[in-house]
Amino acid sequence: MILEKLNDLAVYKATEKSIICYLIENLNVLDSLTISALAKGTYTSNATVVRFCQKLGFSGFRDFKIQLIKEINHQYQDISKVDANMPFSPGDNVYTISNKLALLISDNIERTHQMLDPVAFAKAVKYIDESRRLFIFAKGDSYIRAMIFKNRMIKIDRYVILADENHEASFSARNATPEDCVFFVTYSAHQYDYDSFIKIFRSHRIRSIILTANDKSQLARQCDVVLRVPLDESFGSKVAGFASQISFEYVLDILYSAIFNKNYQINYNQKQIKESYTNRIISGKAE
């Protein structure tokens, strides 16, 4: 395959490497790329480009370009449905991996968007907006997404507590009051401690939200609001949680944006004031 040959840069001269790099960076406009434009973009000549194509077994640039376009189109057809658990295979080159991940990301965001329940989102925004404190329960990769969400929320003067920080979730569960809101971010929703916590929250009439792919779980069934994402990954064997974390980040971005938008100008001004003050602290100019 042409792309596999291009990926092995060690066998090429410096001028040939520059041609390969230019081609890889401009695959999206390959259809309209001329030999003159390629030569100019790589500071070579038409003759150098032709010799490069002949080295790969083609009669010239036109023949090479036609076959490369066919190969790219064929790859797109082959990876139109990417396995979220194993999105790439042994032997895939960087270009193939990037194609597969791009398709996985775009497809996942589109399907997450289609699953969006406006009523559930509106309710979640209301609960968070009205709460004195927001306790977020999340572990592993989901905890990292929760950290990003918290970082944004504190900049608009929201009190957010990452309950699982320092493994002190049980203390956070006991500290929550009816003035607060609890938010579970868990793909599988199979967390024994969370199943125990939700009973406490329900008994104390504390509002609860869950972001999950498993809306049939015991935990989800007991939460006041369920925000769903596609169930693409297995709960066990996978290369990484690409799909789940893409969905989580997208949903959390929507939540933050909707909360920000409720008091847009106030939140914008608060954020600007705080960022300006922080920059002065860092630069040593704060009084």
- Residues 34 and 188: their CA atoms lie apart, in Å, by 51
The residue among 51, 248, 216 whose CA lies nearest residue 140 is 248
Of 227, 233, 235, nearest to 184 (Cα)?
A: 227
The structure's pTM equals 0.64
Inter-helix orientation angle 94-115/61-78, to 10°: 40
Could you tell me the pLDDT band of residue 168, with boundaries at 50, 70 and 90?
confident
Q: What confidence tens digit (pLDDT) does each residue in 207-250 have?
A: 999 999 888 888 999 999 999 888 765 555 555 656 677 888 89
Structure token pair of residue 205: 């009439």
Domains identified in the chain and CATH numbers: 2-78 (1.10.10.10), 111-280 (3.40.50.10490)
Q: Is the dihedral of CA 197, 200, 203, 206 positive or negative?
A: negative
How far CA 52 is from CA of 7, 23, 40, 57, in Å, comes to 14, 12, 15, 9
Position 127 pLDDT exceeds 80: yes
89 or 248: which carries more pLDDT confidence? 248
Q: What pLDDT sits at residue 81?
A: 64
Distance CA 274, CA 102 (A): 35
Give 179's pLDDT tier (boundaries 50, 70, 90). very high
Closest CA to 210 of 196, 199, 224: 224
